Amino acid sequence: MTIVPAPRKVYQGVASRHQMFRMFDRHAQRPNRFEDDATSLYAGEWFEISETEHDYMFEILPPLWIRGSMFAMREFLTGSVTSVFFALRIDGAIRYFHAYCDLSDGQAVERMRLAIIEQETRPVRAMTRVERLEHIWSSTADDFRGYAGNRWPAADRGKRTVVSHTKMAGAKLKLLDGLTDDEIAAKLPVHLRHLPDAVAA
């Protein structure tokens, strides 16, 4: 049975061009990069971009296809996963998004479109713990994030790590999933620190 990755927002706010290109390959440092099937890593990831970046990507290469306000990139990232760009009317305004969709799943693009609209029309802005961790991973410079190697216990090897700073211990490498609520808050921008917890879908 194939597990379909759930759509997940990986960056809060509108990504700049520099940030957009960094997030196109958020998992570039992973071990065995060219030996594994990365479909489950990328498929389902999405974030917001500006109209300028949306139009820039449209003009780079002829799209694989255009369907209404969506288009897919001709070049595939891994397997059958490629970039799909959306222009969606949300609360009366057109907003722009990038998502990785597995085109071998005929419902992936529509499922992604609906997931973005549903999340972005929440009556109260909130974030799940997973969204907080994904934002931290997306916004942390490569020098301060990585993957647990051979010095870590076998069960932790290959998991994502980030540098955490504390007054008592200074800089320390920690598993991303192991960050405490206080450590997560310290790594988030001020405007995101006190958002309420969202219930995971």
Query: Does residue 116 share a domain with residue 57?
Result: yes
Asked whether residue 174 is assigned to any structural domain, the reply reads yes
> Looking at the 3D structure of the chain, how many domains does it have?
2
At 21, the pLDDT band (50, 70, 90 cuts) reads very high
Query: Does residue 116 share a domain with residue 55?
Result: yes
Dihedrals φ, ψ of 191, to 5°? -70, -10
Query: Does residue 154 share a domain with residue 101?
Result: no
Query: Does residue 84 share a domain with residue 31?
Result: yes
Pairing assessment for the beta strands 93-102 and 81-90 based on DSSP bridges: antiparallel
**Domain stops at, among 102, 120, 138:** 120
Asked whether residue 25 is assigned to any structural domain, the reply reads yes
Is the pLDDT score of 196 beyond 70? Answer: no
**Domain stops at, among 120, 141, 176:** 120
At 17, the pLDDT band (50, 70, 90 cuts) reads very high
Report, as an integer, the average pLDDT of 25-46: 80
Asked whether residue 58 is assigned to any structural domain, the reply reads yes
**Whole-number pLDDT of residue 77:** 84
Query: Does residue 144 share a domain with residue 49?
Result: no
Asked whether residue 199 is assigned to any structural domain, the reply reads no
Query: Does residue 137 share a domain with residue 115?
Result: no
Query: Does residue 142 share a domain with residue 79?
Result: no
Query: Does residue 152 share a domain with residue 96?
Result: no
Torsion angle (degrees, nearest 10) of CA 145, 147, 153, 154: 170
Asked whether residue 143 is assigned to any structural domain, the reply reads yes
CA 199 – CA 111 distance, rounded (Å): 19
CA 191 – CA 44 distance, rounded (Å): 25
Q: Which domain does 137 fall in, by range? A: 129-193
**Whole-number pLDDT of residue 189:** 75
Asked whether residue 200 is assigned to any structural domain, the reply reads no
SS (H, E, C) the chain: CCCCCCCEEEEEEEECHHHHHHHHCCCCCCCCCCCCCCHHHHCCEEEEECHHHHHHHHHHCCCCEEECCEEEEEEEEECCEEEEEEEEEECCEEEEEEEEEECCCCCHHHHHHHHHHHHHCCCCCCECHHHHHHHHHHHCCHHHEEECCCCCCHHHCCCEEEEEEECCCEEEEEEHHHCCHHHHHHHCCHHHHCCCECCCC
Dihedrals φ, ψ of 77, to 5°? -75, -50
Q: What is the pLDDT of residues 47-96, one digit of tens each?
A: 999 999 999 999 988 899 999 899 999 988 888 899 999 999 998 899 99
Asked whether residue 165 is assigned to any structural domain, the reply reads yes
Tokens of 46: 């999405």
